[in-house]
Amino acid sequence: MKRLVIKIGSNILASAEKGLDTRRLRAIAKDISEVIDAGHQVVMVSSGAVAAGLKKLGLRVKPQDIRLKQAAAAIGQSSLMWAYENSFADFNKKVAQVLLTRDDISNRLRYINAKNTLFTLMSYGVIPVINENDPVAVDEIKFGDNDMLAALTASLVEADMLIILSDVEGLYSMDPAHKGAELIKRVREITPEIEKLAGDSGSAVGTGGMFSKVLAARQAANHGIPVVIMSGKKSGLLKKLLTGNEQGTYFEPGKQRMPLKKGWIAYGVKSKGVIYLDDGAVKALTVLGRSLLPSGITKIEGDFEVGAYIRCVTKEGRKIAKGLTNYSSKDLERIKGKKTAEIEKVLGYKYSDEVIHRDNLVVI
């Protein structure tokens, strides 16, 4: 049995002119039902709400006005779920709607609650269908796109694989519109060159494009989860993939699976500030596996309290780690560059020797 997170893009399911493509949706429901009948567990992350809602609002293109987009999402989400409910019922499957915002993942208690709900649904054989709670999500609490939401979901449910169904076959060696473009079948590591291949494209009704898919793949792969980006426009491919036939582009997972708590620190929670480290501290964290001490800190950005999650960067600003700080930004301003033995003298108190303890730190 494999636990799969399957992400379905807007472009596969809907367009502003035609609304929801219920035939395609039904074909996807059939494919996913087959996968479940073969013994696998599935969590779906489905886009398409905005696109489906546009048609109902009588709009032909995605509006710039955020209120209209949110209204479209609210209208379209019920159509989307109605279509899933009906289609899956034909294959004796039940679905449940789960709407999330970035805040729900960033807040540890809600994150755990979301996880419990998803597992309860799966234990009853129900397929959770996740989407972003677009009608209430403003920029600060947005995932950005459903590819990222799918990657976070894959970590949340500790998936064995993340499958991103797209309107293209996978990642190509160059813009697929060009003649010489070839499908890349396997990506060992997502390097900056690979990211560049994906370009920075958007799509007509979704927000993603290949770039955001590759970033999501990188995140899941770093977490230790393999990722496949493949076509969601043709039937029968999921079954083929799961019976050993390569499909689309396969991204190899990182060597180690990140424990759930560390995965949440790395990708779930939002950071409230940044601290710059000297070379010694960078080495202590990344090579020697040590905790972060005040002596290696050179600069602090942001205004944060004790217990905030903060990003640790090199002097050039490259992100190397994230963790929970035992000191506020104000305290850190005063103890940066100082020896541990001096903390109490400078502040008048000491919470701990470490600014970030190893156990609360993830090297990225």
Q: Are 106 and 270 in contact (CB under 8 A)?
A: yes
CA distance 333 to 344: 14
Residue carrying the six token digits 């929670």:
269
Q: To the nearest whole angstrom, how small is the minimum distance from the Cβ of residue 47 to ligand GLU?
A: 4
The residue (of 51 and 96) whose beta carbon lies closer to ligand GLU is 51
Q: Are 149 and 101 in contact (CB under 8 A)?
A: no
The residue (of 140 and 316) whose beta carbon lies closer to ligand GLU is 140
Determine the residue type at 205.
V
Task: Enumerate binding residues for ligand GLU (CB under 6 A).
Answer: 10, 47-51, 73, 131-132, 134, 145-146, 206-208
> Which residue of the chain is nearest ligand GLU when measured via CB?
206
Cβ neighbors of 79 (< 8 A, separation 6 or more) are 19, 20, 49, 52, 53, 56
The residue (of 104 and 145) whose beta carbon lies closer to ligand GLU is 145
Q: To the nearest whole angstrom, how small is the minimum distance from the Cβ of residue 141 to ligand GLU?
A: 13
Task: List alpha helices for the chain, DSSP H.
Answer: 10-13, 22-37, 49-57, 66-89, 102-106, 108-123, 146-156, 192-198, 210-222, 237-242, 260-263, 279-286, 329-335, 343-347
The residue (of 10 and 291) whose beta carbon lies closer to ligand GLU is 10
**Of 255, 8, 335, residue with least CA distance to 150:** 8
The residue (of 209 and 248) whose beta carbon lies closer to ligand GLU is 209
The residue (of 171 and 282) whose beta carbon lies closer to ligand GLU is 171
User: On the CB side of 45, how many CA atoms lie within 13 Å of its CA?
Assistant: 29
CA distance 120 to 99: 16
Q: To the nearest whole angstrom, how small is the minimum distance from the Cβ of residue 342 to ligand GLU?
A: 49
